[in-house]
Amino acid sequence: METVLRILIADDDTAVRHAFRRLLDAEPYCEVCADAADGQEAVEMARQLRPDLVLLDVHMPVLDGFETARKIRAFLPDAAVLFVTADESQIGTGTKLPLGTHGLIQKDNCHLTLLPAIRKIIEHRKVCRSNLGDKD
């Protein structure tokens, strides 16, 4: 059986959240469980829903993406975190990501990079589980 990731989307732009949801809902291995408009809302939803993956905008109101990730990983250490940004200067420049996060992709080309990044996260989780003797 294919692994299905439960995903929380956090971005302050409603149109971006809807675009991510449309893209992810079309994939059989993705289930969007919720979306949030700011970092604090994302933390609260993550606490309630316990997603497998949190897709976080770097620049959000209330809490930025990095602080949001730190707070979520404090109570969900196994959740994958993937950052998205509209700021090209952060891509490939050695931007220091919080420990335990799985990368940073640019919003402009996320239709090309988001799904491959999610497939890598799924494969990583399968490897970790098989090393522990767990099965999907």
DSSP string, 61-128: SSS-HHHHHHHHHHH-TT-EEEEEES-GGGTTTT--PPTT---EEEGGGHHHHHHHHHHHHHHHHHHH
Q: List pLDDT tens digits, range 65-120.
A: 989 999 999 999 989 999 888 865 554 444 555 555 667 787 887 778 888 888 88
Give the helix/strand (H/E) hosting 23.
Answer: helix 14-25
Phi-psi region of 64 (alpha: psi -120 to 50; beta: other; left: phi over 0): beta
pLDDT score for 123: 79
pLDDT score for 109: 75
Q: Which domain holds residue 125?
A: 5-132
pTM of the full structure:
0.83
Residue 136 pLDDT > 70: no
Give the helix/strand (H/E) hosting 31.
Answer: strand 30-36
> CB–CB of 49/42 below 8 Å?
no
Q: DSSP 3-state assignment of 17?
A: helix
Q: DSSP class of residue 134?
A: -
Rounded Cα distance between 38 and 15, Å, is 14
- State how many domains the chain has: 1
First CA to last CA distance, the chain: 7
CATH number for position 30: 3.40.50.2300
